[in-house]
Every structure is written in C-alpha cells, then in structure tokens.
Amino acid sequence: MTEEQNDKAPLVSVVIPCYNCEEFIQKAVTSALEQTYANIELILVDNNSTDGTSAILKRLEQEHSGKIHSYAEVVNGACAARNHGLYKAAGDWIQFLDADDELLPDKVEGQLQIALAAKTDVVVSDYCKVGAKQKSASPKKVVVEDDPWLGLINSALGVTSALLWRKENLLAVNGWDATLSSSQEYDLLFRLLTQGAKVSIDHRARTIIYGRPESVSRTGSADKLQQVLLNRYDLRRRIYDFLSEKEMLQPVYKKQLDAYLYYHLLLISEMNMPYFKEQVKSNEFGDIGIVDKLKVFSEFIRHSSKRKYGYSNKLLKLAEWQYFFCKNLYLLRF
C-alpha cells in the first residue's frame, strides 16, 4: 500500500485484551504489525494481569509510539477489556484479536476489501485452529456457514479473532455483554443481526486460533459447565423467538433450532433434571421426528459418555456406551 493510498484508506483498530499473556502477546502483536494493510492502530488492554504482561505492553507502546496504545481495564473479563478498547479506538473498523491468536498477513486487507465492496457491516471468515492437545503445529481449517442465521444457530459463524467489525454497528448495540461467561461473540452477532447488520462470508482462512485447555467449555466444574450450556440454550431460545416474531422462521431454521435446543437440554439434564423437564414440556418438541430425535439422543450419548468415562480402556468402549444409553433411555419419554 502506497503512502497516498494509506491516507485515503479507513483506519482499522486492532483491539487485544491482555490477561497474563507475557508468553505469547508478542506473537499476536507482531502478526498485527506485519499486516499488508498499513493504516492500522493497536489497542492493547491489560485486564488485571499478575505476571509481566503490563510491562511488556508499556514497552511495546514506547517502541511503536503512535501505532500502539496501551490501557488498563479493572473490570475482570475479556469482554470488559474489548469494550474498553472499542471505546478508545479511533478506527472505523475493529479487528478484535485474542492475545494468543495470530492474524495471517492479508487478514485485514483482504476482509476490508470484501467489506467495502459489499457495503457490509461484519465479515465472517473461515479460520485455522490448533487444538489445545494437538501435538503437531499443523492447523485444521474450520469452515463457516454461508447463511448467517444457520451459522448463528449451529455455532458456525466464526470466532472473535477471525471476524472484522464495523465500529458504528458495535457502538449501536453497546458492544460486548460483559455479564456473560460464555457465548459472548454469538450474543453480539445475534444483536447485530436483529438490528439489520449485513454480513459477508469470506471462505479464505486468514486467522490462526489456538485452543486453550483452560477454556470455560472444557471446565471440570459442574456449575460452570451448566452455565455454559444454559447460555447456549438461552441464546437459541432468543433466536427462535426473534425469528418467529419477525416471521423469518424458515423450516430449516426451526429444524436446526429444535435439534440444538433438545440436545442441550439433554446435556443439562445431567446437572439439572427439573429444568430439563420444565423446558421440554414448555417447548413442545413434538415437531421433531422420531428419527431426528434418536439422532440427537445418540449424539448426546456419544458426547456425554465420552466426557464422563473417557473411554480409558478401548475394550470397554462399547460396554460403557451401552450402559450410558440404557441409563438415560428414560429421558426420551419426556
């Protein structure tokens, strides 16, 4: 990009929430600084780090004066830090980047071209993922849905670092909901869609996402896990209600929502049976055919039995699955 082009190009603010990330923040920052798109600024927000993160952020700000700005957010949580960065950002476009993820060199330029050409508000893209337990550094490509509503329903509408956001739209919905413990990016995307935000899909992977073993969805705490499941369930109920109210609930949306809601209620039943019974009764899942219901139930058995027993002995895998199947078969009568 030439200097003349840079003067005419929109400013993109890269917002990075930082918590105890001294081991990998430099890699994330470098990936942002090495973008082929030149007109960017970096907003680094320390979120009560107890390691050397704060000192690193101050050093980076001094080394890249005018390009990098560091701030501190006292309210715990990545969403609070992202909101702090959002309101400090001078750019018209926002690139949120988690401190342990990386942008590929053409990420910002490629997605901004798509956004400007389509006059869109959010660019959602495929991404490369390296699992928390993955021994090889070779990432796996994750493909997003072409239909934004289906992507939202099935958790296939990208992840925070892989998207590009128009700041005006983010401010219009008051940014991130810092009260949520999970499903934050999908809650934000849902609120944007309800306000008429236009979404463009980019099937070129331009971001590397690194899995985190401490992720809330991997927690061993039953209370935390239940809250994760409840957050997912509540969001899909809101999607269902919105689409119904706006007469946008296409048969394919309803089918996917019913399956998603029923599957998560089965998971919740392991921790909160009264809630399971109440919701199954009130949601009237009678529209789910017996074949589809059995598919959902089988997926629940596969997921839950693996999580609970871990298939530590392969010879016992079938026996464990059969035991868990019989043990939970009674759930189908509700």
Strand partners, 165: 94, 122
Please tell me the distance from the alpha carbon of residue 64 to that of residue 17, in angstroms, as a whole number.
18
What is d(CA 87, CA 175) in angstroms, rounded to the nearest whole number? 9
CATH tag, 3-210: 3.90.550.10
Q: Note the pLDDT of residue 8.
A: 75
What string of DSSP letters covers 94-113? EEE--TT-EE-TTHHHHHHH
DSSP state at residue 162: G
Residue ranges covered by each domain of the chain = 3-210, 219-333
Position 71, amino acid: Y
Is beta strand 102-103 parallel, antiparallel or unpaired with respect to 207-210? Answer: antiparallel
The pLDDT score that the predictor gives to residue 149 is: 98
Strand partners, 207: 103
The end-to-end CA distance of the chain, in Å, is 61
Long-range residue pairs from 64-70, CB within 8 A, at least 24 positions apart, any chain: 64/33, 67/33, 67/40, 67/41, 67/42, 68/29, 68/41, 68/42, 68/44, 69/41, 69/42, 69/43, 69/44, 70/44, 70/45, 70/46
The distance from CA 4 to its chain's CA centroid, rounded to whole angstroms, is 36
* Contact present, 34 and 73 (Cβ < 8 Å): no
Nearest to 197 by CA among 118, 126, 103: 118
Q: Please name the helix (run of DSSP H) or strand (run of DSSP E) that holds residue 27, with its range, or none.
A: helix 25-33
Q: What is the pLDDT of residue 4?
A: 44
In this structure, what token pair is assigned to residue 232? 């997912």
Query: Among all chains, which residue has been given the structure tokens 């927000």?
Result: 45
What does the pLDDT read at residue 216? Answer: 39
Both tokens assigned to 28: 């994330």
Cβ–Cβ under 8 Å, residues 42 and 67:
yes
DSSP-derived pairing of the beta strands 140-142 and 102-103: unpaired
Where do the DSSP E strands lie in the chain?
Answer: 12-18, 40-46, 68-72, 93-96, 102-103, 122-125, 127-130, 140-142, 164-166, 199-202, 207-210
**Could you state, in chain order, the average pLDDT of each consecutive group of 10 residues for the chain (334 residues)?**
58 97 95 97 96 95 96 95 97 97 97 98 96 67 97 96 98 96 95 98 96 53 88 96 96 94 91 88 76 85 67 62 71 73
State if pTM tops 0.95.
no
